[in-house]
Structures are given as C-alpha cells and as structure tokens.
Amino acid sequence: MADGWEEELWRRPCKSQCVGGEEMAPTGATLSACSTPQVVASSTALTASRLQEYEPYTCDGSVDINGDPASKKHTGKWRACYSILGGEFCVSLAYYGVGTNLVSYLTKARKQSNVAAASNVASWQGTCYLTPLLGAFLADSYWGRQRTIVISLAIFTMGMLVLTLAAASIHALDISPQGQDALPSLGLFLAALGLGGVWPCVPTFGADQFDDTDGAEKAQKERYYNWYYFAVNGGSLASTLLVYVQDSWGWGWGFGIPALFSVVGIAGFLASTKLYRYQKPGGSALTRVCQVVVAAVRKAHVDVPSDSSLLYEVPGKEAAAVVGSRKLVHTQGLSRFFDRAATFSSVDEASSAAAAMPSPWKLCTVTQVEELKVLARMLPVLLAGVVFNMAEAFFPLFVEQGEVMDKNIRGFSVPPASLTTFNCLCILILLAPCYSRVVKPVLSMATGGLKGGGLSELQRVGVGLAFATLSLASAALVETTRLRIVDERGLAHRDAAVPMSILWQAPQYVFVGVAKVFAAVGFTEFAYEQSPHAMRSSCQACSLVMVTLGNYLVSVMLKLMDSATLVGRGRHGWIPDNLNEGRLDRLFWLMAGLQLLNLLAFACCATRYKRKQATT
C-alpha cells in the first residue's frame, strides 16, 4: 500500500507543492509546499534513494513538450537558454548582415537611385519593427511562443534564401525586369515577416525557462536579459565583417552567409525542444479587453461595491478566462469605471441562480479587469521609449558631424560611421561580462543592497534615460566647440573639415551604448515582468514598436525643423548641406532638453507605478 501512494506522489503534478496549500499523506504526515515531502511514519518512510528520485515541478503553469507539468530538474533554466540565445545570435547576424549594407546593394546591384534606395531601406526597417505586433498576437493567443518562433524562423530563412538567389543567380535566370525587381522585394518582405515572430517571442520564451515562483530561478532572469541583449549586439558586431565579404566577394556570398546562419539558428533552436518549458497560449487578449470595455459600458448605471471581494471571480488559483494563467489581485486606483465589468447586476444574479455561466460580454472576472488596468499603467512607461530611441536615431547626424571634423588619426583616415563601434563595444563589455561582477557590486554600495545589489527594471530604465540625455548634451558641446573653431578660422562659408579630432565624438557614442545597456534591457525586463501573464509577447512587441515611433518622430521633426529655421530668403536652416553654416548645436541642445523632460516625466510615472500582483 505504501508503494502505491508513493508512486502516485512522484507522478502527481505540482498542485499541492506550488499553490501554497498542504496535502496529507495516508499516514497523516503533512507535505510542505514546494519541497521534498517529509513522511514521519516508519511504515511508509521514504528511502534515501526514493528521495533522490523526487522531482518537484514548476509552479508557474509551464508544461513540458508532452503537455505535462514541467520538471524543474529536466527542463528549462540555462541549458534550455543556450539554444535560444544561439538562435538569436544567428538571426541578429543575418538581419544586420543584410540591413547594414542594404542601401549599397540597392544602388549598386539593383541600380536604384539614392533617394529610392534610402526610402526602400527605411520602409523595410519600419516593416521589421511593425510585424512583431502580428507575431506577438499569434503567440499569445493561439500558437504559443515556441511554435511561433519556429514558424517565423522558417519564414525568415525562406526570405534569406530568396534574397540570396536574387543576388547570386538573377542574371543567369530568364526572368523579366519586373520579376528581377520583385524577387529581392519578396525576399525582404519574407525576412521582415519572419522577424515579426522572432523578436517579441525570443526574450519572453527565454524568460519562461525560469520559474517565477522560485526565488533562485527568478534571480537568474536578469542575467538572461543581459545575455539576450549581448547576443543581439554580438550578432550586430559580427555582421560588420559581412560588409567586406559583400564588397570583395559579391552579393551572392554576402547574402548567402547570413542565410546559412539562419539555417543554423533553426537547427540549434530545435535541438533543445525536449528541454524547453512551454506556456500555454491564453486566447485572444484583444477579445478579453473588448469584453471588459463592453461589459463596463453596459453597466454604467451599476454601483461598484466598496468591498472588492464582492466582485466576480471564479474559484481556484488559475484565471478562468485566460488559459494556464494565474489570477490577478484586485487593485485600487486608476478608473473604478472598469470595475463595473466585474460587478454583479440583477441580471447576473438571476443567471447565477439559474446555474448558467454568465456571458463574458456582460460579466467579466476580476483578472480580466486587472489585465486592462495593468496595460493602462504600463503604457506611460513604454511611451518613454519613444523619445529614448530618438537618441540612436540621431546617429546619421552624428556621422554628418564627423564628416566635417579631422578624421586623420596617426596617418589613418577614420570613416565617421565606424565610430558606432564604440557603441557596440560598450554594450558588449558592460552587459554580460561586467554587469554582474562590476556594475552590480557598485550599485549595491550605492543602493545599500537594494534588490540583491542591482536595480529594478524601472530604475534601470531611468538610468538609461539619463545617459541618453548626456549623449545629446555631449554632441551639443562638441558641435558648439567645432563651430567656435569655424568662426575663429573663417571657415563659415567653406565646406571644409575643421582641425578638431573626430575622437571627440567618442563620448556621445559611448553614452548611447551605456543608455542602451540600462534602458533597452530594462524595457525588455519590464515588458515581461509587469505585463499580464498571457500578453507578454504582445507587450514585448509594443516595446519594439517604440523604436519605430522614435525613428518616425525624428524624421518628422527634422523636416519641421528644417522649414522652421529657414529665416528669410537665401538663409540657411540649422542643418544645411554645409554644416559650417548651420547650427546643429542648437538641434542637439533641443534634443537633450527633450530627453531631460522625458526623464522627468518617466520619473513621475515610475514613482506612482503600481506593480502587478498575481495570486500566490
């Protein structure tokens, strides 16, 4: 008899272990939550060998490949993340390997004009950052993250192969001129569509490998976010070698190598399929949000009870409307208007008396209402990413500034665009290698050991926003000094470089790198930790869209500034063709001020932010 109930105990899902409840063994001994059961009766005592066989399960609702509760011993954690990070590195190398020199391919190989090529590249990059909205929706609602990543990687690889075919064999094929233009466009479109499922799902799927309810595993998530961003920038830096391949060996090799890496990325990602922990898709988040709004509007006349326990919620630890998700605790504040969606009306009470399930369009659970509240609280924080991403969007102006400075260093002419290497190296050095060993101990001394010696995700974003401000202020100081030299040397009306070393630009690139180390990783961590359980990929996609909005905002602002600063006929604006006649310093100071205002607005939102509370 003892063997029978012991065997049942080993195979039983983590129900009693994880929810904090207690279960009684047949002997009457209590099984403590999330720990090896302690059985005191000698007749059913567990031997040491059986204790070693005991495997606790994850407590966050994750399952293994067979749909069973995921074992902490045989699934997840770093062994599963290696394949995820390796796949991200390969995709990042492939994306940047194509995007870095795409304008040259379009102008040299496809014979497009500079304007048309620049416009096409901008459109493609904008599409790459917008398709994550579709990929994240499918992942959260229907497919799940792992399946979305696999399908998206296949589509991305197909696009890379089509692009390689177009570059290597286009002249050998009997294709019309229209078809020759359509083939590269098809490859770029498929690549952008594939990235839509990879970018929002890889960071969240990797974070899924660590159990939220296990303190030791949850502490590893910060390291994962660092290594994820390290993989992204490592692929970006490695892709710079492909520019040489494209210029020296041709576009077939230049696009073929990234295509090969994308194939390797798929193979590596699939190799660890049995090790992954999976979160079940929770159904359409958009539908649930609409249900809350509709139900609240229908009950505009209903009074919300002061006691939140009277609001509608189903029994148990999991949310009824969100598959596999834990419930969210009711919070005060924001708008009590939406609480009406979870308030019983006379019609709802009649339905309950008739033992009929209420329609979610008339009565929603507290968890559904809290999902909407969480999204509303997150929005101001994520919007701070729009202005933050404008700092990196100013890199083209940094390059133009470098063009009119002294580029000779020890007899070698430094290309202004190569200074972006300072940005990449700063990110790679500060992230995974140094953050845990150097940055966190320093922060521990500064914060008195707050959060294990590190910063919360909001504090990390705030530090990044501060460095973004310093970056634009540094660029403004460099330009102010450069223009003073222009006046002293009488170069105002000459399109010539001034005797000021281009290395003075290094700090502004480094500051952007430091800003991304803190803010970009902070936004990724924030989007995962604070988003509703079944909307994590969608919130990651929103943080990516902020990059697109930042670039669009810079584009619109530059056009408006160019028109607004033209004073009188024949006068130059702030950004003329000859920067020695312009006032680029004023534009940089204006942007530094905008970044400072963004930091202050973010600080106001962060101090008032109410963190998500899930049931334990």
The ranges assigned to domains in the chain are 70-281, 285-370, 372-562+572-611
Phi, psi at 559, each rounded to 5° = -65, -40
Q: Say which amino acid occupies 207.
A: A
Where helices occur in 60-110 by DSSP H, the ranges are 77-99, 102-104
pLDDT (mean) for 477-491: 89
Query: In the structure, what pLDDT confidence band is assigned to residue 30 with cuts at 50, 70 and 90?
Result: very low
> What is the per-residue pLDDT for 16?
40
Tokens of 447: 């914060």
Which tens digit of pLDDT belongs to each residue from 497-550? 888 998 999 999 999 989 988 898 889 889 888 888 888 888 889 888 888 888
Query: In the structure, what pLDDT confidence band is assigned to residue 200 with cuts at 50, 70 and 90?
Result: very high
> What is the per-residue pLDDT for 8?
41
Return the CATH number of the domain spanning residue range 70-281: 1.20.1250.20
pLDDT (mean) for 172-181: 59
pLDDT reading at 306 higher than 50: yes
Query: In the structure, what pLDDT confidence band is assigned to residue 171 with cuts at 50, 70 and 90?
Result: low
Q: Say which amino acid occupies 244.
A: Y
Where helices occur in 272-365 by DSSP H, the ranges are 285-298, 346-353
pLDDT reading at 37 higher than 60: no
pLDDT (mean) for 50-76: 79
pLDDT reading at 193 higher than 90: yes
Poorest-pLDDT segment among 11-25, 149-163, 316-330, 551-565: 11-25
Poorest-pLDDT segment among 89-98, 114-123, 155-164: 114-123
Report the alpha-carbon distance of residue 385 to residue 526 in Å, rounded: 12
> What is the per-residue pLDDT for 445?
66
Report the alpha-carbon distance of residue 230 to residue 235 in Å, rounded: 8
Q: How many CB atoms lie within 10 A of CB 220?
A: 16
Which tens digit of pLDDT belongs to each residue from 141-163? 889 999 999 999 999 999 999 99
Q: Tokens 């403590």 identify what position? A: 32
- Of the spans 105-119, 197-211, 343-357, 416-430, which averages the highest pLDDT? 197-211
Query: In the structure, what pLDDT confidence band is assigned to residue 260 with cuts at 50, 70 and 90?
Result: very high
pTM: 0.77
The arrangement of secondary structure in 372-562+572-611, i.e. its CATH architecture, is: Up-down Bundle (1.20)
Report the alpha-carbon distance of residue 78 to residue 59 in Å, rounded: 18
> What is the per-residue pLDDT for 155?
96
> What is the per-residue pLDDT for 111?
80
Query: Is the CB of residue 407 less than 8 Å from the CB of residue 485?
Result: no
Which tens digit of pLDDT belongs to each residue from 448-468? 544 455 678 899 899 999 999
> What is the per-residue pLDDT for 52?
42
Report the alpha-carbon distance of residue 95 to residue 198 in Å, rounded: 11
pLDDT (mean) for 347-355: 62
pLDDT reading at 32 higher than 50: no
For the chain, give the percent of residues with pLDDT over 70.
79
Where helices occur in 364-456 by DSSP H, the ranges are 366-393, 395-403, 420-430, 432-434, 440-447
Query: In the structure, what pLDDT confidence band is assigned to residue 53 with cuts at 50, 70 and 90?
Result: very low
Query: In the structure, what pLDDT confidence band is assigned to residue 571 with cuts at 50, 70 and 90?
Result: low
Tokens of 416: 């202004």
Contacts of 272 (CB under 8 A, 6+ apart): 79, 80, 82, 83, 84
Report the alpha-carbon distance of residue 393 to residue 395 in Å, rounded: 5
Query: Is the CB of residue 429 less than 8 Å from the CB of residue 516?
Result: no
> What is the per-residue pLDDT for 282?
79
Poorest-pLDDT segment among 72-86, 260-274, 555-569: 555-569
pLDDT reading at 48 higher than 60: no
> What is the per-residue pLDDT for 35?
40
The mean pLDDT value of the chain amounts to 80
pLDDT reading at 572 higher than 90: no
Query: In the structure, what pLDDT confidence band is assigned to residue 242 with cuts at 50, 70 and 90?
Result: confident
Q: Please count the CA atoms within 13 angstroms of the CA of 555 that sit on its side-chain side.
A: 11
